[in-house]
């Protein structure tokens, strides 16, 4: 069941995400105007901002930083019961991380189209590429040593004490 949150609370947490995005883009110049906070039980448990330029790391998006911080703070990879507030609709990478973290709800300020229009951040080719069969994607992918990997998978499947996630 989706979390029910008053609009005033959404606005309060989004303003913090916006503050972080503004600081990243216009004050510190660490990357684009992407800020994020993760909230549980009405309290911010983690925050992040775009650090791609500063860290020279294409994965250092605000959502990724916040998810890592929340998981570390809570000592779990399962962020069920949390809401993620972000200044822009999540890119495919961040959407994947949100899914795997089991975050219950996402609140965003601007759209992917806005990010393209105002910042030239173009996610559309990623979505189009992911919709293609793997052999037709822009980045060539070649399968290698599948049987050896399947043996590893079988051993992992049989591991009695594996932690499921």
Q: Which helix (H) or strand (E) holds 9?
A: helix 7-22
Catalytic residue among 9, 16, 22, 63: 63
Residues 6+ apart with CB under 8 A from 24: 30, 31, 32, 33, 34, 35, 49, 50, 51, 62
In 50-164, where does DSSP find H-type helix? 52-55, 62-74, 92-101, 112-119, 124-130, 146-158
Answer yes or no: 22 catalytic.
Answer: no
Residues 6+ apart with CB under 8 A from 17: 35, 36, 37, 47, 62, 85, 86, 87, 109
- The β-bridge relationship of strands 35-40 and 43-49 is antiparallel
- Which residues are catalytically annotated? 63
């Amino acid at each position: 069941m989706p979390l029910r949150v008053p609009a005033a609370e959404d606005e309060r947490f989004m303003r913090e995400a916006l503050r972080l995005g503004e600081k990243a883009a216009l004050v510190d110049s660490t990357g684009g105007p992407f800020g994020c906070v993760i909230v549980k039980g009405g309290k911010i448990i983690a925050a992040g901002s775009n650090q791609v330029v500063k860290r020279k790391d294409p994965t250092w998006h605000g959502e990724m930083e916040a998810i890592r911080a929340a998981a570390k703070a809570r000592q779990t990879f399962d962020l069920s019961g949390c809401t993620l507030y972000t200044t822009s609709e999540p890119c495919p990478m961040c959407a994947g991380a949100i899914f795997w973290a089991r975050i219950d709800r996402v609140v965003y300020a601007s759209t992917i189209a806005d990010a393209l229009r105002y910042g030239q951040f173009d996610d559309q080719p990623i979505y189009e590429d992911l919709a293609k069969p793997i052999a037709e994607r822009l980045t060539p992918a070649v399968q290698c040593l599948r049987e050896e990997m399947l043996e590893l998978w079988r051993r992992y499947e049989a591991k009695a004490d594996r932690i499921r996630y």
